[in-house]
Each structure stands twice: as C-alpha cells, then as structure tokens.
Structure 1
Amino acid sequence: MRNQKKLKGLEETRELWLPHSLLIEVLWRLPSKTLAWVRFVSKEWKNIVSDRTFIKLQLKPREQLSGFFSQGRYEWSDGDVKSVSYISVDRDFTKVEKGVLNFLPENVVILSSSNGLICCRSSFPCSEPVLYVCNPLNREWITLQWPNLPKDSSTALIFEPFKSQIDVSTDFQVVTVCQTYIEEDEDEDEDGVQFSFNIYSSQTKVWTKSTEICVCGHNLQKKGCAFVEGVIFWLTNGDHILMFDPEKELSCLVMQPFPASQLNFRPGMCVGEAEGRLQYVLFSEDGLQLWELEDMFSSHWSVKHFISLEELERENPKCMYHISEKLESHLTTDTFPWINPLSFKDTTLLLRISTDIYAFNFDTKKAKLLCPYSALGPNSMFSPIVIPYTMSLVPIG
C-alpha cells in the first residue's frame, strides 16, 4: 500500500510540472532494474520505458553487471540439478534468489547469457527437450526446437540489440558446439576431438550446420563461454581456447597466455569479457592474474592485472590468510581447490574461497563476501554452471 501511494505521488508530481521531454531525460538515467518498476506508475510511463528508442538510449552506454546465475551439477548422475540460483552483486546486501526463472513452463538448465537475455534448455530426463531464450527482468520468453543435439553440447547465445544504428534489434543467434572423439593413427600419441557447430537464427527460425570443423587434442571445459564482439570463446581442458565466429563461420585454437603444464598444481581459470575484449583469469602459486587478448590469430596476450599472494592477503586478511600454505596443500590431484575462479565480467570476478562465494574487484583488489556455497543449493561444489548477467529491458518475442 505504501509503495502504491509513492507511485501515485510520483505520477501526480509528473503531471503537475514535468514535460514529456524532461521526463524522458530523467528516466533514461535510471538502471534497468528500477525501470522495471517504473513501468507500473502510469500508462504513459510504461509506453516511454517500453519504446525501443528509449531502451537503446538508456541501455547502450551504461548498464553494468547485475549478478551471476549459478546451477549445480551431479557428478555421476545423468540427470540435471533443478535448482537455479541468482547472486546479485549490485546491492549493498547480497541475497541469493531462487525461482528467478520459474516463469518458464518447466525446470531448465542455464546455458548462456547475452545483454540481458538467458538461454537455457529443458532439464533432463525429458522426452521432448527444447531451448528457451528469455528475459528474466520482464519475464518474456520464446521456445526453440532441440535439433537432436547431444546433451553435453555447449551452447552460446549471441544477442546484440545495439548493433543496428536505427533501432533496437531483437534478433539473436544460438550457437552450439558438439564434440566428437576421433582416434588418431598408431603413430600419434593422443586421440583428438573434432568440434562442429550448429547455428540458429531468430530471423530465419531455422538451424544450419556449419561446414567449419576444428580439431583439438582436448575437449571443452564445462565453464561456459565468453562472447566478445561477435566471437565466442570456450576453454578447453588443455592449453587452448576454442574460438568461433558465426558470421564468418571461422574457428581457430587460441593458445592460453600461460600453459598450465608449467605450473606446480592445477590452476583455477576462467574466461570473460571487459570493454569488448576477451579476458583470461588465472589463479596460481604466483598470484591472481588477468590477461587480455590482443590478437586471437597470433595468440598475443597482455597482462592487465597481476596481484601477488602477499598483496591479496594484505588487502583481504579475513578470507585470504595464510594463502601460500593453503595453496600448497591443494595439489594437482585435488578435485576442489581452495580457491576457484567461477566467472568474470567487466572488473568483477566471482570466485569460491574454501566454502564461501566472493566477488573480487580487480580495481580495488578487495573481495566481498556474497554467500556461503551451501546457499546455492545441492551439488554446487562439483563444476557448477555459472554465467554473468546484465539486466536489460529489451523485449523478446
């Protein structure tokens, strides 16, 4: 009741003195999360906020990372964990939210995100699986067919609403990469993996199988992907990153900036995006490193941040105390390292330290406690699916 009175008061104030042009000037400066509530003030406000020109004006230069979606995995079972959690990073007091995707018609597994949209699939076991592309903020969604894809295929969503200079586009693509194991000749030391790509376009509403094939000595990690300026990147279990450009239908293997074979223990790593560049996060016995890809075809990287273990402990004495000793006790055979980077976007790294989840800011070098790992639900310790999320009011469907 109190909130309704406030909204009514805002509307009456607007009617008294705010001209239409000034109202737009005020509203476009608000974040998407606030605008989602502003829509209910009046019909005129809803029309303004829903207008594509307004959405493009409000979102393109300003929207920041909102949080991370997380979902556990079963280590041995073929089924899927049904619980999906959302961890906000744009609030003073963090709250782990459940049921954010409950507006969908069934339980789902999160796959990828792009500019406010989420791509997910039906939770297995399922007789007729489908894909969903949805906007959790305005609770809009559409269904895509599942073209006989393997369950372990990796999926990326490409949504660039501001690519057009004229209008906010609702066109998107879904790219899946399937891996087929191939046996090498007897003279070869190792078998290989062949990657093939399927592309769905919302414009044509059909799937096409790309003629592009990429062969690698290792399969993909189940750590999601990074989408950078029309190009998708996936981590492999070796020293390479798989790259695919769906517009040119071109793939290649990018060398990681620091070969894992040169480290004394299994490092924690993940990829992400910041300022239109691919970022590679590595946590090793030397410290926390953030690399930026300068040229994918020559595998040229530059160091953006390097924070030693001593500096990490000095800046974060409550959660990173005795960090060197704890890292030494977690060798290459340790399934659950003491520190594990989970996902990265902009300047924020989501990572697990022991049994807690933290948001680490590379600019301030500070780690903020978000929640205990147990708050993310069952089976969250074993290779969880974690994807960054940025709120958007862009319509879908």
Structure 2
Amino acid sequence: MDNFRFLNKDVAFNVLSRLPTKLLLGLKCVCKGWQQLLCDCDFMKVQSQKREQMSGFFFQQRFQWCPDDIKTITYIPAEFKCSGLNRTVFSFLPEDVVMLASCNGLVCCRSCVPFDDPAIYVCNPVNKEWIKLNWTRADRDSHIALAFDPCQNAMERSIDFKLVQVHQFEATPDNLYFSFDIYSSDTGAWRMSKEICQCDDKLYKNKGIFIGGVLHWLTDGDKILTFNIENELAWLIAVPLSSAQFESITGSCIGESDGQLYFVMVSEDGLHVWLLQDSFEFKWTLKHAQTLEAIEAEHPHFLYNLRERVTRRPFYDSEPWMDPLAFKDGYLLMKACDKIYLYHVETNKMKKVCTLSELGANFSFSPIVLPYSLSMVPLKQASD
C-alpha cells in the first residue's frame, strides 16, 4: 500500500467510489494514498451521487410545557447486532442545537432555546463540516425542511441546497393556510414563495421528507402537506386510512424507501405500511400488515399484552401507547410505553434499543426523530 502512487489511480477511483460511505470511512486508515484519494473533491463528488442506505436515527426529546430545549441528541444505529448509542455526533458544532431536518447526509439544526444570537446550521456529521446561517425569524416551533439532491448537484464550488420554512396563518378564524419561505444556498438569501395551501390542520412530528424534488409533512388531520421545490406548488394528499374510524388512539408517521413515500399506522387492527403509488391520484398500496397479536406472538419478551394496552387507554391520555416515530428503508423506530424499539417490517426482526430515561429525560412530548444516511459530501468549512 505504500506504493499506492505507482498504481493506476483510475482503477482505485472507479472501485472505491462504488463502495458505501460506511466502508470508506474505515479505508481512510489503510494508507496515505487512499486517504488522499478519499478526501479528493472529485472523488467525494462521484461517490456522493449514489444512493446510500440509511445508517440510523437521530433522537432528541422535547419538553411539553417547558420553553427550554433538551440539548441531548442520541444517534441510534439501524443495526440489530449493535447496541451502542452515540451522544457526541454534533459536538463539532459551536453550540448546542435542536435538529430540524435530515436529507441525503446533511442535517439542518437550530440554536437551542433560550438563545441570544439564534442561528441555523447545515452540517455533515461525517466530515464535521458546517455552514452557519442567520435566523431572523427565530421561533422555537419553526418547521424547517432541508432539500438536497446529490445526484443533481455539480458541487463545482460548493453544494446547492434549499431550506423551506412553513408558516400557518389565519385568513379567517375558521380558515387557515400554509405559506412557504425558501432559502437557497446559491443566493444566500430567504424569500417568500407566492404559493399558499389552504389547510386547517397542524403539522405533526415537525419534519419534512424530501423525495424527488418534493417535500412532505404529515398533519394531524389525516393529510400530508406537499411542496414542490422547483415549481413552488403545494397540495394535500389524504392518508389511506382516517384515524377517526378507530376506537383507540392511533399512531402514525411518514417515511421514505427507494425514493417513494410511505405511510405507517398503528391501531387496534395492527401495524400497517402503505406505499404511495401516485401522488396526484392519491393511490396507496398496502405493502405490509401485521396484527398486534402476531407481533406479540413473535416478540413476547418485548411487547407484553400489546392489544390490551393499545385499546384500553385512559380517556385523558392523548398519545398512542405504541407510536411509530420514523420510517426509512424498511426500518421503523417506534415507542411503546417508555421504551424505544427498532423494527424491520420485511424481516419482522425487532430489538429493544433503550428506555426513554436513557435518552435524556424521564418524559417528553413528540420527540424529534430523523433518519440519517452517511455521506462524504463536502461543505464549505465555516470560520469562527
């Protein structure tokens, strides 16, 4: 390996650029030649333009009534043999942050409340590079999504990404609508889109999922808000099943797999996963269905008396006992009572990850959970 400089670099470039980022991070230690190649801008450009499988989930709890933010962010690997949790992933940033969005290896965060000089950060945890943006309309409950497509990004000078901040306003007391502010890294400025979307529902679980140039947000009213980045058009998609038809409190989330949108619901009828076949004709296809009895029979040491717990909730309890938090590439992270579980819908594998108290607080309200894929995409290093 010491004679790397005498080898055909084109062959090494071609072979190594096809490998997943997780393997490449270990290969940096093989020799200086490989390290130089893996850090080369041309190599990172080519390598980052292929689709990466999800590597894990970021988890951050939130207080329900306290205005301050919980600063602890935990990384949960999407591996059934791995049991380690990482709480130092974002230690390279200049301050504690709250996560807002994740997209193709990049993560968008904001300053923690209370703050004096609020900022937004777009960063890559793999190479610990970050960009700081001024946040003039700072709001603890901001809904900011990140749109970044490495396959359509030349990265000649710097990467091109967009942020979309969603606001909800009252046209009349009974008529609400969403508006959209867009930040472009190309211009370095925010602007307000002319598009609005009439909707009386609130955004749910505070995250936008970017698929094929379109952002998606789940609402609490059985609809999915969508916004096309290029033509700046917004519309609503009805979910396949309404929560109103169930007697118990349902839990749901949206996610992505193979570039397609998925909807996950847990109810007294079981766990169901749908694929959106056509976003304009609202065509959903049921891809996975499992009764609660079948899940409990398969995993009795994890979930005890599951159906009874789901269907017999106290009337004053507004959260589902079994709640799907995030879904990506077949992996579902869910909360059952005070425990967090990792579940793979195709293989039916499940493992207990930890308890909520191990994640930074004894209780929380609607935690922020973001799927994450490793990437070597470079960001311009910010200066102090």
Q: Let me know the Cα RMSD of the aligned residues.
A: 2.3
- 1:178 positional shift: 1.0
Q: Which residue matches 1:284?
A: 267
The answer to whether residue 214 in structure 2 is matched with residue 231 in structure 1 is yes
Q: Which residue matches 1:96?
A: 85
Q: Tell me the alpha carbon deviations over residues 61-108 of structure 1, each in whole angstroms, 9 at most, x when there is no partner.
A: 452111111111111112211111111114722211112101111111
- 1:175 positional shift: 0.6
SS of residue matched to 1:48: helix
Gaps of 5+ in 2: none
Task: Map 1:204-353 to 2 at 5 A.
Answer: 204-330=187-313, 333-353=316-336
* Counterpart selection for 1:393 from 376, 380, 383: 376
User: Are the aligned partners of 1:266 and 1:332 in contact in 2 as well (CA < 8 Å)?
Assistant: no
Query: How far apart, CA to CA, are the structure 2 residues paired with 1:337 and 1:20?
Result: 55
The answer to whether residue 366 in structure 2 is matched with residue 377 in structure 1 is no
Structure 1 residues 142, 379: CA separation in 2 closer, same or farther (over 3 Å shift)?
Answer: farther
- 1:40 positional shift: 4.6
Q: Tell me the alpha carbon deviations over residues 156-204 of structure 1, each in whole angstroms, 9 at most, x when there is no partner.
A: 01111111589797110011101124434xxxxxx23321101011111
In percent, how many aligned pairs have the same letter?
42
Q: Tell me the alpha carbon deviations over residues 121-165 of structure 1, each in whole angstroms, 9 at most, x when there is no partner.
A: 111111221100000010000111213243322010111111158
Q: Which residue matches 2:180?
A: 197
Q: Which residue matches 1:84?
A: 73
Larger CA deviation: 305-314 vs 268-277: 305-314
SS of residue matched to 2:341: strand
Q: Which residue matches 1:366?
A: 349
Q: Which residue matches 2:59?
A: 70
SS of residue matched to 1:224: coil
- Equivalent residues, number: 380
Q: Tell me the alpha carbon deviations over residues 280-330 of structure 1, each in whole angstroms, 9 at most, x when there is no partner.
A: 000011111111112223322111111122321232222133222221222
Q: TM-score, normalization: structure 2?
A: 0.92
Query: How far apart, CA to CA, are the structure 2 residues paired with 1:368 and 1:167?
Result: 43
Structure 1 residues 52, 318: CA separation in 2 closer, same or farther (over 3 Å shift)?
Answer: same
User: Are the aligned partners of 1:135 and 1:392 in contact in 2 as well (CA < 8 Å)?
Assistant: yes
- 1:351 positional shift: 0.5
User: Are the aligned partners of 1:275 and 1:346 in contact in 2 as well (CA < 8 Å)?
Assistant: yes
Structure 1 residues 380, 167: CA separation in 2 closer, same or farther (over 3 Å shift)?
Answer: farther
Q: TM-score, normalization: structure 1?
A: 0.89
User: Are the aligned partners of 2:129 and 2:379 in contact in 1 as well (CA < 8 Å)?
Assistant: yes
* Counterpart selection for 1:156 from 127, 136, 145: 145
User: Are the aligned partners of 2:324 and 2:333 in contact in 1 as well (CA < 8 Å)?
Assistant: yes
Gaps of 5+ in 1: 1-10, 185-190
Structure 1 residues 332, 25: CA separation in 2 closer, same or farther (over 3 Å shift)?
Answer: farther
The answer to whether residue 117 in structure 2 is matched with residue 128 in structure 1 is yes
